[in-house]
Amino acid sequence: MPTDSAARLKAYEELIRRFASMVRGAQLYDAKHPLIQRNVEGLMEVLASLFEGTPTLTIGLVHREVVVSDTPLPRASQLMGDLIARLLAHDIERITIEQGVTAATLAAFSRAMAALPPRAVPGAPPATADWKFTHVRVGRIGGSRDTAADGIASDLEAIRQLYQSAVTASEQAWDAASTEGMPDAAAAKEVVDGLADAVTENRTALVALTAMRNYDNYTFTHMVNVSILTMGQARALGIEGRLLREFGLSALMLAVVNHHEPIATALAWSS
């Protein structure tokens, strides 16, 4: 299993891509079609690599976003919109695949998923009630005993709240720059302190969140993303503590200044 955060993120994205291809193939082709076998073999290959570092892999769906282990995958979420909607309609929020799963089991599982109707029938038994696949389990996150999956939901929600708070505080720093001619350094420092802790504890999840796009609030999310990505790179180089925060604060303040043309012009002339 890849240990570098960037490599792990790439491996998780490949896992989801292969998984989605397998299900899509089962929807389009007969079970004996050669493409079905290739899709399953491709997924098995990715799983084999990931199973070198963990005996189980959990794919979670949290607020219509795909998460593998503790890592949100915004790009994968965008590619799996229809499949995500279908899974959630049948209360499938968690898919756990265990080491030892066979290609035959995955093929059968993909056919079962492909056969799910777009919507659940009110009052009817769950479509997954009779599903029994060795080394593959499905269920809900909130109502399951899978503490790892529950952790996905709580960790991601905490990171989302932190991210949103950082965007709000960045807006305050922006407003101060507009009215007073200088950014609010105290507000900016508060933003960076929280983000620095998150970068230290779960850099991959926080950095992955920067891929989300909010065009209604683009300026402030961009400012926060600049700070996060700068600290993510610094942390990858072994920088931590106070120096890590200084990197993040400098990046955030620079983003504020660059978005304020009068301030940027004044600084350029004074340098």
Q: Measuring CA to CA, which residue among 84, 81, 71 is closest to residue 7?
A: 71
Residue, of 30 and 220, whose pLDDT is higher: 30
15 token code pair: 């896992």
Starting at the edge strand found earlier in the chain, the sheet holding 94-98 runs 71-72, 65-68, 56-62, 94-98, 136-139
> Alpha-carbon torsion 238, 231, 191, 66, what sign?
negative
Q: What is the pLDDT of residues 60-88, one digit of tens each?
A: 887 778 888 767 787 777 777 788 888 88
Average pLDDT over all residues of the chain: 78
CA dihedral 220→226→231→234, nearest 10 degrees, is -170
Q: What is the pLDDT of residues 140-190, one digit of tens each?
A: 875 444 444 445 555 666 777 777 778 887 777 777 766 766 666 777 777
Give pLDDT, residue 53.
Answer: 84
Entry pTM: 0.58
267 token code pair: 């600084």
> Alpha-carbon torsion 56, 61, 62, 65, what sign?
positive
Give pLDDT, residue 3.
Answer: 56
Burial class (CB in 10 A: 0-12, 13-18, 19+), 37: middle
103: confidence class by pLDDT, cuts 50, 70, 90: very high
Mean pLDDT, residues 102-110 taken together: 95
* Long-range contact pairs involving 166-171 (C-beta distance under 8 Å, separation at least 24): 166/191, 166/194, 166/195, 166/224, 166/227, 167/214, 167/217, 167/220, 167/221, 167/223, 167/224, 168/220, 170/220, 170/223, 170/224, 170/252, 170/256, 171/217, 171/220
Give pLDDT, residue 1.
Answer: 59
Q: Measuring CA to CA, which residue among 101, 98, 90, 99 is closest to residue 140?
A: 90
100 token code pair: 């030892």
Q: Measuring CA to CA, which residue among 164, 159, 167, 165 is closest to residue 220?
A: 167
